[in-house]
Structure 1
Amino acid sequence: MVKQYLCIAGLILSVFVSGCAGIGDSKDIKIGGNLEMTGSTASYGQSMSNGIKLALKEVNSSGGVLGKQVTFTVADNKSEPSESANAVTKLITQDHVSLILGAAASSNTIAAAQIAADNKVPFITPFSTNPKVTVNDGKLNDFAFRVCFIDPFQGTVMGQFATKTLKVKKAAIFIDNSADYSKGLAQYFEESFVKNGGEIIAKEAYLQKDQDFKATLTKIKASNPDVLFIPGYYEEVGKIIKQAREIGFTIPIIGGDGWDSTKLVDIAGPDALNNTYFSNHYATDAKTPEIVKFIEAYKQEYGQVPDAPAVLGYDAAYMAIDAIKRANSADPLKIKDALVTTAGLQLVTGNISLDENHNPIKSAVVIEFKDGKQVYKETINP
């Protein structure tokens, strides 16, 4: 009986919070950001925040949405799953937002996903590529959406790139065992690489905040791979690549979109990054009208070239605005329903339609580092 009362109380709280987040008599439309502003992946959250703020500045300068200005409140998840859950709870219960953008890291987004769903507030993650963000244990989270491609596609892209473009046969994988993102991406890369005739000859692991990787890298080097796949985040990836080159690794080193940070070159050094490649959401040297316009606006606002988290934050904000316009409301449930039907939306990273699992159907690009500069290598379509 006590359990039943608790369930009823939870439902009442959920409805109350959802109702508070609606447009009501508010003079503005409230969007929240669950972002990594500090901690080990702070570069992602800071870039995403910049991209989101730029998009909303443009929207508000053009008259806002539904005759109202859009406000953006950021809660710092400190790059930790438990803090991500706290951040989303704060945005919903204290700030009464209608929609949440974030988080960046898949582990942080997964940790907060059920809280958003329980309170019936939709969220769009710009950068979390693990499939469990939207579908966990076979169940679709009705309130979870994203603008980025997912790891099964990203892993397949890099498996194909390694075998067909680099034409390598033997791969080693170095996994971040503390990140859902890294473990998932490693799985799909391995499946793709083996399917295309390759062999995984070594698999090793590290943890976030590790500093010295040379002993494990020496072990990997002894297995004589043709390529090293590191599906990790920029902080550790930069140190791994730097130390790998220091012990004589000359083979190609490849990875996923978690590499894309303005900090990576600072950590690894431009020379060490030569002969490295990673999958990404857009190429800064592409010349589409959307990319050129966005980069010019971002550079004018922040004085630097935007990385993938920045452009995806920008795209996520515009996906949110599109849904609010089509819902003709800032009510979270109506926004959720509008997000489900997102189709043919032209964003900087491509023309986006969401599939039945709330994932966008879009291409990936492979980026090569040359003397510390990112250079477009090729596009791989779904």
Structure 2
Amino acid sequence: MRNWISGAAAIAAAALLSAASTLPARAQDTGPINIAALYNLTSGGLSSLDAPSFNGAKLKAKMINEAGGLLGGRMIELTAIDTKNDTRETATAAQRAVAIPGLSAGIGQSDSTFALAAAPLFQTAGIAFVTSGATAPDLPEMVGDKMFLVPFGDDVQAHAMAEYAYGTLGLRNVAVWTDNAMDYTTGLSRYFTERFTELGGKVVLEDVYMTTDQDFSALVSRLQSTEGVDAIFASSGPDTAGIIVKQLREAGVALPILAGDGFDTDLVLSVPGEALAKDVYFTTHAYAGIETGPAQEFRTAYQADYGTPPENAFAALGYDAVGLVADAITRAGTSEPAAVAKALAETKGFEGVTGTIVYPEGGRVPTKPVAIIKVGEGKMNFETTVTPKG
């Protein structure tokens, strides 16, 4: 994962940091408990992850409020700000969020580049930012002590896929395709390659593309001319996930396609269509396959509120983000942001839908099991969970 705030995010964040440091004093511990939710809701492929995540967050806040709220009856007030798939817009949204009177914490974003555009503003204001879906394991190191992850890191999911590919699928020689425009995808490819080669596998072809690409014929041609390839690891976000599957299958490439949680989007099914969306394996967050406890309670409530099952694991991550912040507020006994951030750092056993969150001493990235999903016959089917050894 790149250890800098990239492109426009850096410019926007730097321009706004000084403004955030002059914010008014926090409101007293009375009235609603304010949590800001920053998501890409209306633009780009990331909305297929962020919209379900926000729905999950809203659902958890509603359930807490209906159960009596927090701290003796105070209701959670979730303020949504659409970041519109734009890093400058995201930095501006973060500035607006930290100016909300009495803000206790921020949540949101399903991509590391966007989390990096927002989180530094929260860090400067002394307010915790809990990303519900960004998975760069070095986000806390890059941002500071107010940055927390609900999901596992990309190193964990990439190592899990490498171990599953080598040990369960018996793959030995892979091609790696990487979206070179995203921090998430460049890191994911690096971690996958690291673990797969440690196990004894080989990367026989490496190719790159950009998020805006629509034509993968050149990459397909190079793949077809490379001998001995057993599978393709496609390190992609949701924008290109379905397009990659479609164009590989249309070209007659029947090799297994491996990926990370950027493939946990209905675009993997809808873009190629049922006949072509097959033999695709991706990692995601392990509530899939669990039919009891918090996972089943979440599914039932989500279906009741939205008239559909959860679209993907990001819905569960948004739900867990609000639950995690609420748990920290309860343990802190206050909604004051410094106390909330301290309680978050001390989390040792929050039972979420996507697994138990334990932050190690000095760390703010949980290690959780990884779900493996197989796409075939027009459906996404849970295969197994993997806790990587590497």
TM-score norm. by structure 2 comes to 0.90
Q: Distance in 2 between matches of 1:340 and 1:19?
A: 23
Q: Describe how 1:208-247 pairs up with structure 2 within 5 A.
A: 208-224=211-227, 225-247=229-251
Structure 1 residue 198 corresponds to structure 2 residue 204: no
Q: Which residue of 1 aligns with 2:177?
A: 174
Equivalent position amino acid for 1:354 in 2: Y
Q: Which residue of 2 aligns with 1:332?
A: 337
Q: Which residue of 2 aligns with 1:264?
A: 268
Structure 1 residue 60 corresponds to structure 2 residue 70: no
Answer whether contact 1:129 1:149 (CA < 8 A) is retained: yes
Q: Secondary structure at 1:74's aligned position in 2?
A: strand
Q: Distance in 2 between matches of 1:252 and 1:11?
A: 45
Structure 1 residue 364 corresponds to structure 2 residue 370: yes
Equivalent position amino acid for 2:306 in 1: Y
Answer whether contact 1:135 1:357 (CA < 8 A) is retained: no
Q: Secondary structure at 1:168's aligned position in 2?
A: coil
Q: Which residue of 1 aligns with 2:94?
A: 88
Q: Distance in 2 between matches of 1:199 and 1:15?
A: 49
Shift of 1:17: 2.8
Change (3 A) 1:285 1:95: same
Q: Describe how 1:103-122 pairs up with structure 2 within 5 A.
A: 103-122=109-128
Q: Distance in 2 between matches of 1:19 and 1:338?
A: 21
Candidates 34, 53, 57, aligned match of 1:48: 53
Q: Secondary structure at 1:280's aligned position in 2?
A: strand
The root-mean-square deviation of aligned C-alpha atoms, in Å, is 1.8
Q: Which residue of 1 aligns with 2:140?
A: 134
Equivalent position amino acid for 1:371 in 2: E
Q: Secondary structure at 1:313's aligned position in 2?
A: helix
Q: Which residue of 2 aligns with 1:157?
A: 160
Answer whether contact 2:288 2:371 (CA < 8 A) is retained: no
How many equivalent pairs are there? 368
Q: Distance in 1 between matches of 2:277 and 2:316?
A: 23
Q: Distance in 2 between matches of 1:378 and 1:50?
A: 26
Q: Which residue of 2 aligns with 1:279?
A: 283
Change (3 A) 1:232 1:197: same
Shift of 1:96: 5.2
Q: Which residue of 2 aligns with 1:378?
A: 384
Shift of 1:97: 2.2
Q: Distance in 1 between matches of 2:42 and 2:34?
A: 23
Q: Distance in 2 between matches of 1:107 and 1:184?
A: 12
Cα displacement string for residues 313-341 of structure 1 (whole angstroms, at most 9, x for unaligned residues): 00011000000111111111010000000
Q: Which residue of 1 aligns with 2:43?
A: 39
Q: Distance in 2 between matches of 1:14 and 1:214?
A: 46
Change (3 A) 1:222 1:56: same
Answer whether contact 1:235 1:267 (CA < 8 A) is retained: no
Q: Distance in 1 between matches of 2:125 and 2:153?
A: 25
Candidates 180, 186, 189, aligned match of 1:186: 189
Q: Which residue of 1 aligns with 2:11?
A: none
Q: Distance in 2 between matches of 1:132 and 1:86?
A: 23
Q: Secondary structure at 1:134's aligned position in 2?
A: helix
Cα displacement string for residues 32-61 of structure 1 (whole angstroms, at most 9, x for unaligned residues): 011111222111111111000000000000
Shift of 1:80: 2.2
Shift of 1:94: 4.5
Q: Name stretches of at least 5 consecutive residues in structure 2 with no aligned partner.
A: 1-15
Equivalent position amino acid for 2:305 in 1: E
Cα displacement string for residues 151-179 of structure 1 (whole angstroms, at most 9, x for unaligned residues): 11111111111111111111111111111
Equivalent position amino acid for 2:118 in 1: A
Change (3 A) 1:96 1:88: farther
Equivalent position amino acid for 1:262 in 2: D
Q: Distance in 2 between matches of 1:45 and 1:12?
A: 29
Q: Describe how 1:335-350 pairs up with structure 2 within 5 A.
A: 335-350=340-355
Cα displacement string for residues 97-124 of structure 1 (whole angstroms, at most 9, x for unaligned residues): 2210011111000122221111111011
Equivalent position amino acid for 2:221 in 1: T
Q: Distance in 2 between matches of 1:283 and 1:368?
A: 15
Q: Distance in 1 between matches of 2:382 and 2:158?
A: 18
Cα displacement string for residues 192-224 of structure 1 (whole angstroms, at most 9, x for unaligned residues): 111111111111111112211122222122213
Structure 1 runs of 4+ off > 4 angstroms?
Answer: 10-16
Q: Which residue of 1 aligns with 2:253?
A: 249
Answer whether contact 1:17 1:96 (CA < 8 A) is retained: no
Q: Percent identity?
A: 31
Q: Describe how 1:64-83 pairs up with structure 2 within 5 A.
A: 64-66=69-71, 67-83=73-89
Candidates 296, 310, 313, aligned match of 1:308: 313
Q: Distance in 2 between matches of 1:11 and 1:374?
A: 42
Answer whether contact 1:84 1:103 (CA < 8 A) is retained: no
